Amino acid sequence: MNPPAKISAKISMKIPMKIQGAIAAVSALPPRALPLGGALLCVALVAIALYFQHVDGLEPCPLCIFQRVAFIAVAVILLAAAAHNPRRLGRRIYAGCAAVAAALGAAVAARHVWLQSLPPERVPECGPGLGYLLDAFPLQRALSLVLRGSGECAEVQWKLIGLSMPAWSLVWLVLLTAGALFAACRAK
């Protein structure tokens, strides 16, 4: 047995059989299935956020809007990948772009979760809305102000199983990042 085969055998013995089976099942899917599934997940998550906004009346803060933009960007990239159905290098490029978009969204969500975890006396004051910031300041300055967060970003309006909406966004964006990186590494 050559050295790479020994390493592969050792690694595969350490991975539980159920996970190996799941990886094999995912690898057996048609090339368009994974990006299409990821895109549909992103669309569903944005639809849920829009439901909470327009039906339940939960107004999104600027950081929430940026998280939605990240989900939409990932969806667009993955839909393009599914439509294009590229070969190995193209799959890696699409997966890498999706990973970058999801990681940027995860960074915004992590900042949002951090703001929500601050004690009340450390929460920044509420600032103007996103529309005003984009109208009144150059784009770079407006983005800088938004990413600092404000008091409205620190308010927890909704929870599921103890996690706020930004925390759920963080979970999904991290999973999308990991999935895209996995796809980039496994592109055949």
Lookup: tokens for 74:
């990932």
* Residue 185 is a catalytic residue: no
Instruction: Tell me if 170 sits within 8 A of 110, measured CB to CB.
Output: yes
Q: Catalytic residue, from 42, 61, 97, 111: name it.
A: 61
**Contact status, residue 49 vs residue 60, Cβ threshold 8 Å:** yes
68 is catalytic: yes
Catalytic position from the list 32, 87, 126, 141:
126
Per DSSP (E only), the strands in 38-138 are: none
Burial (CB count within 10 angstroms: exposed 0-12, middle 13-18, buried 19+), residue 154: buried
Question: Which candidate in 42, 64, 91, 97 is catalytic?
Answer: 64
Nearest in space to 164 (alpha carbons), one of 81, 83, 49: 49
Look at residue 43 and give its three-state secondary structure.
helix
Catalytic residue among 68, 91, 97, 111: 68
Asked if 126 is an active-site residue, the reply is yes
Catalytic residue among 91, 97, 111, 153: 153
Query: How many other CB atoms sit within 10 Å of the CB of residue 136?
Result: 11
Distances (CA, A) of 8 to 33, 164, 183: 27, 40, 19
Q: Is 64 a catalytic residue?
A: yes
Q: Which residues contact 113 (CB under 8 A, 6 or more apart)?
A: 164, 166, 167, 170
As annotated, the active-site residues are 61, 64, 68, 126, 153
